[in-house]
Structure 1
Amino acid sequence: MSRTLLLFLLLLRGPAAAAGRPPPAATPRLKLAFPELRARHGLRLFALERSCCYEALLLDEERGRLFAGAQNHLLSLALDDISQRDRKIYWPAPVEWREECNWAGKDITAECMNFVKILHPYNRTHLYACGTGAFHPVCAFVEAGQHAEEPVFKLDPRRAEDGKGKSPYDPRHAAASVLVGEELYSGVATDLMGRDFTIFRSLGRRPSIRTEQHDSRWLNEPKFVAVFWVPESEDPDDDKIYFFFRETAVERQQGLGKTSFARIGQICRNDVGGQRSLVNKWTTFLKARLVCAVPGPDGADTHFDELRDVFLLQTRDKRNPLVYAVFSTSSSVFQGSAVCVYTMADIRRAFLGPFAHKEGPNYQWVSYQGRVPYPRPGMCPSKTFGTFGSTKDFPDEVIQFARHHPLMYNPVLPHGQRPLFLQAAVPYTFTRIAVDRVTAADGHYDVLFIGTDVGSVLKVVSVPKESWHRMEPLLLEELQVFQDASPITSLQLSSKRQQLYAGSAAALAQLPLHRCGAYGKACAECCLARDPYCAWDGTACTRYVPNTKRRFRRQDVRNGDPNVLCSEDPRRGSVPQKQLYGVEGSTAFLECVPKSLQARVLWTYQRTPEDPQREVQVDERVVRTERGVLLRSVQRTDAGHYLCHATEHGFTQPLLRLSLEVIGTRQAAGMVPAGDPQLAAGPPGHKVWYRDFLQLVERPPLGAADRVCQRLWSRGRPPPRPRAYAGPPGRGQGEEPRKARRRRTHEGPRAERGPRSASPW
């Protein structure tokens, strides 16, 4: 079996492949379409005319604003409702830049615009924004005020500055950056052709610094995804900047062509370059591979190497956040997406491990076994690790070693050695992720909001299985946020306001983080949802708020057992009932659709309420569908009571009781003589109420033409034969011209028309 086919089979089988059983289908418990979200669940949209591409989002809780960058515009929207109280700044590229862009062969209506790519808070009153500027990158400071009530939002075009090394030239290229203090760290292409990719530091008082130029060992056609600042210790000199990107792997095997690897790179914040070598270049740059793979037998893993997005979830310890990363596959054989979680301890361990080494073009990449100079390359000059006050004080051998060995040999493996959540063979790909840590009654849970390339958002909660070291993902919701199915290009989350904000090429969307009432109106339905945002309060499924003293509050995300939580529910055991009638020989449909798509429906039948229940068996006459059971050619023995059950998470609950009454064909046609107790469904002489209705169904009212034919047959004459029709009146071959038809009708021989007294009229 080929390796590609083996990886494909492993991906389809998933994490349970080693155990010989396929994983359960990742079906959302609740799936809501765009119209329902818009009408019932608070979905709000915002879009500008003649604009697009809402990629840069900045959430500002203090000002209560959502700042957004789009084509030729900067936006300031209210966090409570993005469709209200909007403020706009029109920021187009100058006419001469657009003309120059057009002369270079670019589309003046699609590419020669100013697409805002970078948006950061600069200080308490200003933002820093950068755009493509019609292939002439430009940056500017935006005054946004200090408080929410200040209606200030303006840009000073006189303070615009060169955006090279900060924003990409091409609007199709992505850029990643972070503003720390007054310094901007960005990963971007710094040339018009998009070939010179660099990690660049600008602004601030220190001189600009970048990666080694045109050296594939440092960066090889990278696509930057995200940048974060993470403190290393209590000493600010140990702080590091981490870059997440994907690139063409230099350590790929020969003959496999271009292979994309996910990377994490680090630099020291206080790096100022070397003294004699690597002048104004990073001396502390290192990178390692990010692995997100499904372990398989015989060491054959299914890798997700296309890094799409990264979210840094802050914990109580600012030095150890959790890293959530979204991946997709680069294979042309199969398609899939995954979410992997990494700890800073594992990331730091990889950078403290051996360096990757290759002595010649035909040698394999191996672990470097020689002497590593002191101080170790990648260490920051600080009091923690020595007496070096600056990177300019590093010995030459340290600088040279760092230049030739930027790659680490050991990769960074995910927590649990496997993806937290993956989807294969689905019609979408993960694009963005935002994570919210939610406090529930039985602990803290991480809720993942995953954007896709078809305009939908997946809501996933990570629940411990046997212990907190082994997590189980639960797909709670699939929400169609954008009607046009445009890919989600940005996600921002407000825990304070319980809102999610998404951007696409077409519009901006706002959606609440929870829809507790949509899970159902019973305690068991709320409990089985296992949504940490929701709890049963005794009467409804509502938002769970910690530290509230409510007697009937019920929530158990980890187990979700209604037998324990809902034993006091007064409505437990009550089942809605419905009466259904079926005509013998016709069809009858027993409809029952549970709210949860993860529930398995079970049908039972009993002739009378006193008889034992038995499961409805499927055969040629009894067909099971997604919405119920279809009885084909109903028989008298089908009459009785049908009970629809929903089984989910080991709990079975009745949903609906249907009573089916079967009506005989003679009885339905109204032909049963009164007083026949064996055929009539009622006392002798009593006319069944539905007989007239069924008589109309089987014998619909006669039209004018039907009445004519009925009269002719009653007089022993056949009805007139219909003429052939082969086109519109007066134009087809089967229809006479209007004048000829009128003349034949009114002036023809009476013998042809027949005697007047014989006319049915």
Structure 2
Amino acid sequence: SIFPSNVIFLFCHLRSGVTFIKILSSSHLLFPSGLEGYRRFESSAVNYSTMLLEADSERLYVGARGAVFALNASDISASSALTIEWEASTEQKLQCVLKGKDNKTECFNHIRLLQRFNSTHLYMCGTHAYMPLCAYVDEKRFIISSQPEEGKDKCPYGPITGYTALILDQQIYTASRYDFWSFPDIRRNAPTPALKTENAPTRWLNEADFVGSALVRESLGSSNGDDDKIYFFFTEKSQEQSTTYSHSRVARVARICKGDRGGHLTLQKRWTSFLKTRLTCSLPEYDFHFNMLRSIFVMHGLTPQDTLFYGIFGLEWKNVKASALCRFSLSEVQEAFRGPYMESQDSGSTWKEYVGKIPEPRPGTCITGKLKAKGINVSTSLPDEVLDFVRRHPLMSHQVQPADRRPLLFRRTTDYTHMAATVVQGVDEQMYHVLYMGTDEGWLHKAVAIKGQLHIIEELQLFEEPEPVTNILLSTERTSVYINSPSGVVQLPLSNCERYTSCYDCIFSRDPHCAWSGAECVDVMTQSNSPAQDYLQVGSRRRMK
């Protein structure tokens, strides 16, 4: 370009000829009073942490402390909200206090799991004053439809313990540190066979703090009859030895096969497909590593192989605020799991790359069509030699590098807490990944990924007083972003192009949602009846009449 990198070239001139727009940097700051479409729900409950919204649903389900709400997904501030009150009894709260827990924050029923169980019921779990319970919810009547059941194997005891859960085909997968004395664990709780991770002779998880999980249907289009996989994301105590960096904790991705049924004798009621490896997010020019994984978002593509993982990373030092966002491809994660294993030495204190013979079939792989042709139809038929190798070699040697080999975004003095992303097709027919990231002080940053970099295009202050964003959920059907915080839920439009009143402001926003129609700034996602060439947008070329 003939223009310096710090120069913005903008030409909004409606005359004959070709108009070309190139924007290099911009960001808009807005506050609650200036946010069009800003809606808020709050009640006497606090600690709004879980959300559930399905594409064809009119309801946004929200879990908080002592209550679950069904809100109007189009307008969460509407008075039609339904409520299930589910608080721990006075006696249970007293027992919690006697255990030494805080009667102002911990000794309540914090809803940690809220997901669909089947076509008629939801399933929820709460901490219940450090004695977890779970219950079914009749969706139509929005009531608890059964006697609550014990939840200590499905739900953590505390409100801030790292936790992730999935309900798939009425099977409940959870990962957490469940009680005071247990080790972290990844479990399938129902139906049988119930499976968990191994603790001896090799501990598969080391003080793991889970942030997310995802199903990737790798069986779709598989040429070898592969199984679907479930990926878990967490930070844990480091096991590797390295001369280039030293961290006590590292970010990880682990995976299991959905069809895993455990071993017959060896690894009985344990995963036979568990493998884990490191996720690396660093500034390579400084060899500076962000080793604490705070949030993960899975971007599903047209095929399973197109899956991307977006992760927010922070620093181990709590007195230093900084965040990095890295993007990982499923193919690179798969490649790491096909690579060499690590081996524990010196009673587990030192791990080095394993160089010995690897048994067949390859340890940790799913039951594929090739194995079924050899008579191995389920994991209980795997040889003991293979299962013993899995037991002792859960860690892979190769780390997963970001798809761009560096962070998409590095932000000083900002601690991002949660994120979500969507895909937007611009006027130029290019597909843009648009990300929404919440901070520990209640800001929402909207950003677009372009050529290996993430550009923040909008910064929204969500609350009058600082409070952390605890969850973010997007709905393209409702064109809304929903944000949880300790005090309530906020709903905002995915874009608000109407706020830009001139061609200059509209294009300057660099928002792929927004384009100039010749008379006003419009959201291109809602202009399905007009051809793309009728609009002007960042990077687009258009012949004006």
Aligned to 1:83: 77
In structure 2, relative to structure 1, the CA distance for the partners of 1:28 and 1:106 (3 Å cut) is farther
Count of residue pairs the alignment pairs up: 514
1:247 corresponding residue in structure 2: 236
Q: 1:167 aligns to what?
A: 155
The AA in structure 2 aligned to 1:36 is G
* 1:323 maps to 2:309: yes
How far apart, CA to CA, are the structure 1 residues paired with 2:292 and 2:492? 28
Which has the higher mean CA deviation after the structures are superposed, 210-219 or 428-437?
210-219
Deviation at 1:95, TM superposition (A): 3.3
Residues 186 and 200 of structure 1 are in contact (CA less than 8 Å); yes or no, is this contact kept in structure 2? yes
| CA displacement at 1:514 relative to structure 2 | 0.9
Equivalence for 1:668: none
In 2, Cα distance between equivalents of 1:230 and 1:173: 25
SS of the equivalent of 1:101 reads helix
C-alpha deviations, 1:487-540, integer Å up to 9, x for none?
001000001111000001111100111121323x22233223221111111111
Aligned to 1:59: 53
In structure 2, stretches of 5+ residues that fail to align are: 1-23
Deviates more, 1:271-280 or 1:498-507: 271-280
User: What aligned pairs does 1:105-184 form with structure 2 within 5 A after superposition?
Assistant: 105-145=100-140, 152-158=141-147, 160-184=148-172
Q: Is the 8 A contact 2:239 2:351 kept in 1?
A: no
Query: Which of these residues, 496, 520, 524, is aligned with residue 540 of structure 1?
Result: 520
Give how far 1:195 is off: 4.2
- State the match for 1:46 in structure 2: 41
Task: Show the counterpart of 2:15.
Answer: none
Q: Which string of whole-angstrom CA distances, capped at 9 and with x for unpartnered residues, describes residues 261-309 of structure 1? A: 100001111212212222111111110000111111xxx5111111011
Cα distance, 1:533–1:141 mapped onto 2, change above 3 Å: same
Corresponding position of 2:190 = 203
* Alignment match, 2:493: 512
Cα pair 2:325 2:409 within 8 Å, conserved: yes
Q: In the alignment, residue 45 of structure 1 is paired with which amino acid?
A: R
**AA aligned opposite 2:489:** L
> Which residue is 2:443 aligned to?
456
Secondary structure of 1:264 counterpart: strand
- When residues 334 and 565 of structure 1 are mapped into structure 2, their CA distance, relative to the original with a 3 A threshold, is farther
2:459 maps to which of 462, 475, 478: 478
Match of 2:338 among 334, 344, 352: 352
> 1:527 corresponds to which residue?
507
Matches of 1:286 and 1:60, distance apart in 2: 31
For 2:325, which of 339, 354, 360 is the aligned residue? Answer: 339
Question: Which structure has the larger Rg over C-alpha atoms?
Answer: 1
Percent of pairs identical after alignment?
34
Q: Given the alignment, which residue of 159, 163, 178 partners 1:190? A: 178
The answer to whether structure 1 residue 389 and structure 2 residue 406 are counterparts is no
Asked if 2 retains the 8 angstrom alpha-carbon contact of 1:536 and 1:552, the reply is no
**Contact (CA 8 Å) 2:427, 2:533: kept in 1 or not?**
no
Distance 1:276 1:362, change over 3 A: closer
| Match runs of 1:627-638 below 5 Å | none
Aligned counterpart in structure 2 of residue 447 of structure 1, from 402, 417, 434: 434
**What is the alpha-carbon distance in structure 2 between the residues aligned to residue 452 and residue 493 of structure 1?**
16
- How far apart in 1 are the matches of 2:425 and 2:483? 24
AA at the equivalent of 2:120 = T
Residue 232 of structure 1 deviates from its aligned partner by 1.9
How far apart are residue 188 of structure 1 and its match?
1.4
Q: Is the 8 A contact 1:346 1:412 kept in 2?
A: yes
Instruction: Note if contact 1:326-1:430 (Cα within 8 Å) is conserved in structure 2.
Output: yes
Aligned-partner Cα distance in 1 for 2:511–2:219: 36
Deviation per residue, 1:126-170 (Å, 9 max, x gap): 10100001111110000112xxxxxx2111252x11111211101
CA deviation after TM superposition for structure 1 residue 319, in Å: 4.7
Contact 1:169 1:194 in 2 (8 A): no
Distance 1:202 1:110, change over 3 A: same
Q: Deviations over 1:225-244 (max 9, x none)?
A: 11111122237761111111
Tell me the CA shift for residue 333 of structure 1.
7.6
Aligned pairs (5 A) from 1:353-502? 353-360=339-346, 365-386=351-372, 387=374, 388-424=376-412, 426=413, 428-442=414-428, 443-464=430-451, 471-502=452-483
What displacement does 1:481 show? Answer: 1.1
Within 1, Cα distance between the matches of 2:103 and 2:317? 35
Matches within 5 A, 1:661-676: none
What is the deviation of 1:42?
1.4
Instruction: Write the distance in 1 (CA, Å) between the matches of 2:348 and 2:368.
Output: 39
Cα 1:106–1:566 change in 2 (3 A) is farther
Task: Give 3-state SS (helix, strand or coil) of 1:60's partner.
Answer: coil
Q: Distance in 2 between matches of 1:169 and 1:498?
A: 35
Richer in helix (by share): 1
User: Which of 260, 264, 271 lines up with 2:260 in the alignment?
Assistant: 271
Superimposed CA distance per residue, residues 167-199 of structure 1 (whole angstroms, 9 cap, x where no aligned partner): 1101121310111101111101222x1542110
Aligned partners of 1:231 and 1:319 also within 8 Å: no
Q: What is the correspondence of 1:575-654 to structure 2 with a 5 Å cutoff? A: none
Q: Which position in structure 2 is the counterpart of 1:222?
A: 208
**Cα separation, partners in 2 of 1:554 and 1:177, compared to 1, 3 Å:** same
Aligned partners of 1:129, 1:362: CA distance in 2, in Å?
37
Partner of 1:287: 276
Judged with a 3 Å threshold, the aligned counterparts in structure 2 of structure 1 residues 346 and 551 are, in CA distance, closer, same or farther, namely closer
Distance 1:491 1:529, change over 3 A: same
